[in-house]
Structure 1
Amino acid sequence: MTLKTLDGALALLTYFTVRQPTWGVRELAKHSGVHHAVVHRVLATFAANGFLVQDAASGKYSLGLRLFELGQVVRKTFSPAEVVQPVLEKLAAQSGETVFLSWLDGHEGLCVGMVQSQHQLRFSIELGQRFALHAGAHAKAILAFQDDAFRARVLENARQRAQDQPALAAPDPAVIEPQLAEIREQGWAHTRGEAAASVAGLALPLWSRDQTEVVGSLAIAGPQQRLNEESVPRLLEALREASRRLEEVVGFGR
Structure 2
Amino acid sequence: MTLKTLDNSLEVLKYFNKENPTWGVRELAKEMNISHSIIYRILVTFESHGFLIQNPETKKYELGLRFLEYGQMVKDKLNLSDFVLPIMKNLAETIKESVFLTWLDGKDGVTVEIAEGSQTIKFSVSMGTRTPLHIGASCKVIMAYLPEDRKKEIMEHGMKRLTPETITEPEEMIADLEKIQQQGWCFSTGEYAHSVFGLGVPLFNSKKEVIASLTIAGPIYRKPTEEKLPEMVNILQYGAMNIQRYFDQYSFKLYHE
Quote the Cα distance in structure 1 between the aligned partners of 2:253 and 2:156: 28
1:61 aligns with 61
1:154 aligns with 154
The answer to whether residue 222 in structure 2 is matched with residue 194 in structure 1 is no
1:244 aligns with 241
The answer to whether residue 173 in structure 2 is matched with residue 176 in structure 1 is yes
1:25 aligns with 25
Q: Work out whether residues 80 and 113 of structure 2, in 8 Å CA contact, stay in contact via their aligned partners in 1.
A: no
Measured after TM superposition, the shift of residue 85 of structure 1 is: 1.9
Instruction: Provide closer, same or farther for how the CA distance between residues 144 and 170 of structure 1 changes in structure 2, counting only shifts above 3 A.
Output: closer
1:10 aligns with 10
Q: Work out whether residues 167 and 173 of structure 2, in 8 Å CA contact, stay in contact via their aligned partners in 1.
A: no
Instruction: Tell me the SS of whatever aligns to 1:218.
Output: strand
Instruction: Tell me the SS of whatever aligns to 1:230.
Output: coil
How do 1:133-144 residues align onto structure 2 when only pairs under 5 Å count?
133-144=133-144
Quote the Cα distance in structure 1 between the aligned partners of 2:200 and 2:121: 20
Measured after TM superposition, the shift of residue 128 of structure 1 is: 1.4
Measured after TM superposition, the shift of residue 18 of structure 1 is: 2.9
Q: Segments of 4+ in structure 1 off by > 4 A?
A: 165-170
Q: Work out whether residues 103 and 112 of structure 2, in 8 Å CA contact, stay in contact via their aligned partners in 1.
A: yes
- Computed over aligned residues only, the root mean square deviation of the Cα atoms, in angstroms, reads 2.3
Instruction: Provide closer, same or farther for how the CA distance between residues 22 and 177 of structure 1 changes in structure 2, counting only shifts above 3 A.
Output: same
Instruction: Provide closer, same or farther for how the CA distance between residues 157 and 79 of structure 1 changes in structure 2, counting only shifts above 3 A.
Output: farther
How do 1:45-194 residues align onto structure 2 when only pairs under 5 Å count?
45-159=45-159, 161=160, 171-194=168-191
Deviates more, 1:176-185 or 1:119-128: 119-128
Structure 2 gaps of 5+ residues are none
Instruction: Provide closer, same or farther for how the CA distance between residues 11 and 238 of structure 1 changes in structure 2, counting only shifts above 3 A.
Output: same
Measured after TM superposition, the shift of residue 94 of structure 1 is: 1.0
Give me the identity figure in percent: 38
Instruction: Provide closer, same or farther for how the CA distance between residues 168 and 46 of structure 1 changes in structure 2, counting only shifts above 3 A.
Output: farther
Quote the Cα distance in structure 2 between the aligned partners of 1:130 and 1:168: 19
Measured after TM superposition, the shift of residue 167 of structure 1 is: 7.9
Structure 1 gaps of 5+ residues are none
Q: Work out whether residues 165 and 190 of structure 2, in 8 Å CA contact, stay in contact via their aligned partners in 1.
A: no
Q: TM-score, normalised by structure 1?
A: 0.88
CA offsets, 1:37-69, max 9 Å, x none? 111101111111121122222211122222222
Q: Work out whether residues 18 and 128 of structure 1, in 8 Å CA contact, stay in contact via their aligned partners in 2.
A: no
Number of equivalent positions: 250
Q: Work out whether residues 135 and 167 of structure 2, in 8 Å CA contact, stay in contact via their aligned partners in 1.
A: no
Letter in 1 for 2:189: R
Instruction: Provide closer, same or farther for how the CA distance between residues 62 and 81 of structure 1 changes in structure 2, counting only shifts above 3 A.
Output: same
Measured after TM superposition, the shift of residue 21 of structure 1 is: 2.1
Measured after TM superposition, the shift of residue 181 of structure 1 is: 0.7
Q: Work out whether residues 166 and 191 of structure 2, in 8 Å CA contact, stay in contact via their aligned partners in 1.
A: no
The answer to whether residue 212 in structure 2 is matched with residue 216 in structure 1 is yes
Q: Work out whether residues 206 and 247 of structure 1, in 8 Å CA contact, stay in contact via their aligned partners in 2.
A: yes
Greater relative contact order (Cα < 8 A, sep 6+): 1
Q: TM-score, normalised by structure 2?
A: 0.87
Q: Work out whether residues 103 and 213 of structure 2, in 8 Å CA contact, stay in contact via their aligned partners in 1.
A: yes
Q: Work out whether residues 50 and 64 of structure 1, in 8 Å CA contact, stay in contact via their aligned partners in 2.
A: yes
